[in-house]
Amino acid sequence: MADTPVEYIKHHLTNLTYGQKTDGTWGFAQNATEAQQMGFWSINVDTMAMSLLMGLVFLFLFRRVAKRANAGVPTGLANFVEVTVEFVQNMVKDTFHGKSKVIAPLALTIFVWVLLMNSLKWIPVDFIPAVAHYAGLPAFKYVPTADPNATFGLSIGVFFLIIFYSFKVKGAGGFIKELSFTPFTHWALIPFNLFLEILGLLTKPLSLALRLFGNMYAGEVVFILIALLPLYAQWALYGPWAIFHILVIPLQAFIFMVLTIVYLSAAHETH
């Protein structure tokens, strides 16, 4: 798939991108340069496919457990699902101070979905790209959260919910008044307040997306660099780094969920 370490790294960090090429034709980019030249009207097929697959896995597992639920003591997968649901419920009760039937299911979806997407990082870095290569695909980057398009897609969705609930709960006048008179209440400082509040509002999706992407991308790069080492060195380093990600992978899903709850809780505050 690659003749040099540089080509190897580029290949593993290149998305399977479909879009309009510079010559006007549509198709898959054959390398990172072609993918960048496609511009806005393109789609990272691997990111979409793997994120949708993890979403379907989430729905399948939780629906299966829900259909088989009984009054007995849960075991196996049912126990994991029940612990996860209770954990998210308690987190919402402690963090969210408004009234909404949407926040808990949303928090559960975000936590489990991001956790599943992050967990793809435990698959050996050469396995899926090798399968894609033999299937005739030029590249396949299989960890969706290592692609900023996925993390920004999630964070922008959360941002729209923040704006929606801010207008719904506070009203247009209340929301504008909050932006205009926070943190200073004097009318002469309204422009300064608006600058600070709008800047703070816009940095929420930015921080959500970049925090998740940065951690997952950096971890992916380290796994790729380890794969370039001799076999004896790979086993010495791959194990500890994979064990470290036992903490990183759920932690990043947890942080994304908690910040979402906090931001939506602030959107429901009416004072």
Q: pLDDT category, 72, cuts 50, 70, 90? A: low
Res 7: pLDDT: 83
> Does the pLDDT of residue 39 top 80, yes or no?
no
Select which of 44, 51, 193, 215 is catalytic. Answer: 215
Q: Do residues 35 and 15 touch, judged by C-beta distance below 8 A?
A: yes
Sign of CA dihedral 203, 53, 105, 171: positive
pLDDT at 1 over 60: no
Q: What are the sequence ranges of the domains in the chain?
A: 55-125+147-267
Q: Residue 73: is its pLDDT beyond 70?
A: no
DSSP letter at 42 equals E
What are the structure tokens assigned to 42, written together? Answer: 């393109």
Crossing angle of helices 76-95 and 45-67, in 10° steps, is 100
Percent of the chain's residues with pLDDT above 70? 97
Asked if 181 contacts 190 with a C-beta cutoff of 8 angstroms, the reply is yes
Q: Lowest-confidence range among 41-55, 199-213, 217-231?
A: 217-231
Q: Which of 149, 180, 211, 265 is catalytic?
A: 211
Mapping DSSP onto H, E and C, the string for 10-23 reads HHHCCCCEEEECCC
Higher pLDDT, 31 or 58: 58
Residue 216, number of CB atoms within 10 A of its CB: 27
Q: Which of 63, 79, 90, 207 is catalytic?
A: 207
The verdict on whether omega for the bond into residue 5 sits within 30 degrees of 0, i.e. cis, is no
What DSSP element (H or E) covers 43? strand 42-44
Active site residue 211: yes
- pLDDT for 110-131, tens place per residue? 999 999 999 998 888 888 988 9
Task: Mark whether 180 is an active-site residue.
Answer: no
Q: In DSSP terms, which residues pair with 17 in a beta bridge? A: 44
Q: How confident is the model at residue 36 (pLDDT cuts 50, 70, 90)?
A: confident
For residues 226 and 198, give the distance between their C-alpha atoms in angstroms, rounded to a whole number: 42
The 10s digit of each residue's pLDDT in 231-270 is 777 777 877 887 888 889 999 999 999 999 999 998 888 7
The Cα–Cα gap between 184 and 175 comes to: 15
70 is catalytic: no
- Tell me the range of 4-18, 67-81, 96-110 where mean pLDDT is highest: 96-110
pLDDT of the residue at 40:
77
Spatial distance between the Cα atoms of 231 and 35, rounded to a whole number of angstroms:
32
Q: Can you give the pTM of this predicted structure?
A: 0.89
Q: Which residues pair with 43 in a beta bridge?
A: 18
CB of 117 within 8 A of CB of 144?
yes
pLDDT bin (cut points 50, 70, 90) of residue 2 is: low
In percent, how much of the chain has pLDDT > 90?
43
